[in-house]
Amino acid sequence: MPDSLPSRRTVLGAVAATAAAPLLAGVPAARASARRDGLLFVSPWKGTQIHGARFDAGSGALTSLGPVGDAPSNWTARHPAKPLLYVGSSEDGGIVHTYAVDPATGALTRTGTSVHTDEGGTAGGGISYLGVDRPSRTLLVANFEAGLAASLPLAKGVPGQPVSVVRDTGSGPNPRQNGPHVHHVTIDPAGRRALVADFGADRVLVHRFDRSTGAITPGTWAYASAPGSGPRRILFHPSGRTAYVLNELSGDLETLDWRDGTLTPRQRLALDSDAFTGTKSGAELALSADGRFVYASSRGENVLVVFAADARTGLLTLVQRIPSGGLKPWSLTLHPGGGWLLAANQASNTVTVFAVDRRKGTLTAAGAPVAFPAPACLTFFDR
């Protein structure tokens, strides 16, 4: 969710520095000739339009297509097999819209009807995450403002009315923790638990999940993070025995043991350098497909952080801390091929492409940042 933004002078300075950069990152002609273009959808937080882009997985070139659809967006996710994009709306009521994707142009066409995931409405809307659990054909929804997690069945790819809506309670010591604020919901590797990161209550709740119905049932156990930490994201290591929790307010990453539905803390690492004295703000988390590297973004020091994960224990070791290429890296995403990472710098209105060294896990900026209005969510759509 939004936190304090840099001054107008700082933002304008960063934008001016990249305004002259071409939208197509400079790449060698020989590499650029062998193009493997896919689509990228760039969504602003509480924006009115989703922008599209072409991404060349051969060269790393990112080319803006401009607005491709009108959508009151917060967060987006794609269907794993169908040309459909789900948009968590910024409208009142916790609404999810479905858009058909034209693979040739990236144009979005709204289809079907919107689905309410917050009975009674929520002022301003508040969907902070969408994700698809493919085995159960379920769309998972986290609603920050309403403090709830919901699961929606996907019939032929179209979300139906919620199978379950689970509301949380509680608050934390930070002024932004005035009540429950669900930021993420994910399913454990065994498919039997739904884990919910509650930013407002400083907890990761462990609920029951039925993959035959897609229903989430409130559980009786939760992991309590440090007061004022603000859990934001959860990822599981491919081993199935380790979970990583990114805390927004304390700006750190926790490594936890996952056994029999219980989380046990093992490690806590800062995202920002020791020299940083500003406001901490952990934002996004990603894991390489082979589980060897964990990537995180910090809106505090405006950096991306790379950790190496021990194959046996899951414990993390710092590999790299690199500028995000802009201000407030709200989110990041790994290309499905694994060779590229993109960072959405919301406050400087740019997306930066990084080449990934698959052996070392390290990142190298590839070309100039590309201009997009207040990017917050990045969703790949490979044809």
CATH (domain of 144): 2.130.10.10
pTM confidence score? 0.89
pLDDT of residue 124: 53
Three-state SS letters, 72-96: EEEEEEECCCCCEEEEEECCCCCEE
pLDDT at position 315, please?
Answer: 98
Residues sharing a CB contact under 8 Å with residue 275, sequence separation 6 or more, in sequence order: none
Query: What's the pLDDT score for residue 27?
Result: 36
The pLDDT of residue 20 is: 34
Give the domain extent around 226.
8-23+38-381
Cα separation, 214 vs 270, whole angstroms:
35
Burial of 158-187, coded b for 16+ CB within 10 Å and e otherwise, reads bbeebbbbbebebebebeebeebbbbbbbb
1 lies in a domain?
Answer: no
Residue 69 CA, distance from chain mean position: 20
Yes or no: say if 187 and 133 are a contact pair by the CB < 8 Å rule.
Answer: yes
Does some domain include residue 210?
A: yes
pLDDT at 47: 87
pLDDT at 378: 98
Residue 86 is predicted with a pLDDT of 96
Q: What is the pLDDT of residue 45?
A: 86
For residues 334 and 288, give the distance between their C-alpha atoms in angstroms, rounded to a whole number: 8
Residue 92 belongs to some domain of the structure:
yes
Total count of domains within the chain: 1
250, part of any domain: yes
Residues in the chain: 383
Other CB atoms within 10 Å distance of the CB of residue 324: 28
Average pLDDT per 10 consecutive residues for the chain, totaling 383 residues: 41 38 34 62 92 96 96 92 92 88 95 70 74 97 93 92 93 97 97 98 98 96 97 97 98 97 97 97 97 98 98 97 98 97 98 98 96 97 80
Is 181 a member of any domain?
A: yes
Give residue 92's pLDDT: 77
Residue 89 pLDDT: 85
The answer to the question of residue 31 being in a domain is no
pLDDT for position 372: 97
Within a domain: residue 110?
yes
Report yes or no on 244 lying in a domain: yes
